[in-house]
Structure formats: C-alpha cells, structure tokens
Chains A and B, each alone.
Chain A
C-alpha cells in the first residue's frame, strides 16, 4: 500500500467536503458570522414560533398570568423547586417525545425552561411542541437558576397533573 498516496487521497476528499459543505451552507455561514446562532443552534426560519427570551420578558409573561410555564427538567428537580404555577413536562430519557399531548390551545403562549446556562431540555422540548402545532413558544434561556436567583415566585412539590 502506498501510504503517502492514500493519505493524499484522503486529504483531497476532506478538501472537497470542506468546499461542498461551505458552499452548500453559505447563507447559514453568513448568518453565523453576523452573530446568529450564538446563543442557540436553531434557525428562526425553521422554527418561526420559537423565540428565546430573557428574565425581563419571562417576568412580564408571568405577571400577565395567561401564559403556561413548562418545566422541562426531570420530575425530581421539579418537585424540589419550580416557577410558581409551572407544569412539569420532562423529556424522559432524551427520546424527544412527549408522554401525552398538552391540553391547551395551539395559540397559547408557552414559556419553556430548564436549569439555565447550557441546559438543553427547554429548546428540545420547544422543538417538540413546535412540531405538534404550537406557534407561540418562548424559551426562557436563564431558566430556573436565574429565576430563583433573582427571588421570583417559586413553589415546591409534585405536579398534580
């Protein structure tokens, strides 16, 4: 086996893949260079009903009262503490499936949260809800850590549902 020739061939394939990958995803790359997708890797074009929000907007929606807050963390964490009036819908075993569909209108404003920081459950759940037809989904990026850290209303215990 001519090792040098083999490695050179492999390098050629990689080079071709880099060129194809960059060319095929040029619009996406441009958006990335302009600062999009820095907070989260999802396209608002593909998920038009999902918006990332911060503490101020989450607080405003909480005060408004008509918003459904969904805690996407495991049940155990929910029972240890959650945003007041939130319901618990954990993404069990990371299977990206809901155990049962939500019982609220599709146009209801829904705020999904997880631990905060680099937690992944809230956006994953938001995508699942989006695929079920919900179009008013907010992902509270600060999550539980920011909510409880700033002294906002919380509760403890299991979700009665």
Chain B
C-alpha cells in the first residue's frame, strides 16, 4: 500500500495534467473530435457530436480539480470512470479490428493500440490511488 503523501501528490498532478491537457487540445475543434469518436463506430452520429461538445469540458474540469486538489475524490472518481470507459472502448475497437486514431489529444493523437491501453491502465491505477487515499495532511 502506498502511504507516502508525495506519491499521491505526484499521481494527482500527473492524472490531472493529462486530463487537463487532453481536454484543452480537443475543446477548440469539437467537430474533429466528434469525427474521432465516430471513427470508433460504437456510438451514433448524433451521440458522437454531443459527446464531443461535453467530454473535453469534463476532462478540463476534472484535470483542473485534480491539480488544485479541490473536490479531489469526486474528480478522481470521474477520472477513473472515464479511464475505464476509454480502456473498454479501445479494447473493443482493437478486438473488432478497427484501425483508428484514439482522438485523445486532438491533432496530437496516436493510434488506439496496446500502448494506449497500457497508458490508460497506469493512469487508472494512479487515479484509483487518489480516489481511495485516506484523508491526511493536504499536499
């Protein structure tokens, strides 16, 4: 069990930073992000459009709250939920043999592949650590 408070601080800043950057890179071009979502061929055209309007803002808020430590647990819960969703989405897409960009970082995105699953898995572990960390002195 990780007890060092500086580990939790690092996890919080890493997950928060990734979410904040990811949201910021997508928020300026929702249509491109909607196309990225549509490319996964799981949700409808309309759902892709709506998700592209809202998801980057969830990531920005989640990221900012994790970085600042405000609403730490709710934002960690949300980040964990999103990461579980991303892992399932990428896994299903790979299993179906669809070769597409992940759309995670706007134009800087890379392919939905094993490397991405690993990255999301590590972020999920960090996020869960932040979620279940015992309350202690603020770091």
Chain B residues near A120 (CB-CB < 8 A): 35, 39
Stretch from B3-11, B45-53, B84-92, B119-127 forming part of the interface with A: B45-53
Interface residues of A in 23-52 (CB under 8 A from B): 24-25, 28-29, 32, 37-38, 41-43, 46
Closest to B101 in A: A94
1/0 per position for B64-78, CB-CB distance to A under 8 A? 010000010111011
Interchain CB contact (< 8 A) of B27 among A24, A37, A38, A46: A24
- Docked pose: A94 CA to B111 CA in angstroms: 8
A63 at the A/B interface (Cβ < 8 Å)?
no
With A28-B31, A43-B31 as contacts: A13 and B53 at CB distance below 8 Å: no
**How many A-B pairs fall under 8 Å by CB?**
90
14 A–B contacts from the bound complex (CB under 8 Å):
A6-B74, A8-B74, A13-B74, A13-B75, A18-B57, A20-B61, A21-B54, A24-B57, A41-B32, A41-B45, A41-B48, A94-B111, A118-B41, A120-B39
Which residues of chain B come closer than 8 Å to A94, judged between CB atoms? 99-101, 111
Known interface pairs A9-B71, A41-B38. Does A21 touch B56 (Cβ–Cβ under 8 Å)? yes
Give the size category of B's interface with A.
35 or more
A1 within 8 A of B: yes
Known: A5-B74, A13-B62. 5 other contacts (CB 8 A): A12-B71, A13-B58, A13-B78, A21-B55, A25-B30
**Does B34 make an interface contact (CB < 8 A)?**
yes
Q: Does A148 contact B (CB under 8 A)?
A: no
User: Does A55 have its Cβ within 8 Å of any Cβ on chain B?
Assistant: no
- Judged by a CB distance under 8 angstroms, whether B132 is at the interface is yes
For B133, the closest partner residue in chain A by CB is A1
Are A10 and B31 CB-contacts (below 8 A) given A25-B53, A28-B53, A94-B111? no
Q: Contact check, A1 vs B71: say whether CB atoms are below 8 A apart.
A: no
Q: Is the CB of B31 within 8 A of A22?
A: no
For A12, list chain B residues within 8 Å (CB).
Answer: 71, 74
In the complex with contacts A13-B62, A94-B101, A21-B57 CB distance below 8 A = yes
Complex formed: what's the CA distance from A17 to B39 in Å? 23
Contact, CB under 8 Å: A1 / B73: yes
Q: Give bound CA distance, A46 to B48, whole Å.
A: 19
Question: Cβ of B71 and Cβ of A17 under 8 Å apart?
Answer: no
Identify the closest chain A residue to B30 (Cβ): A25
B-contact bits for A87-99, CB 8 A (1 contact / 0 none): 0000001101000
Known contacts: A1-B132, A94-B111. The answer to whether A9 contacts B45 by CB under 8 A is no
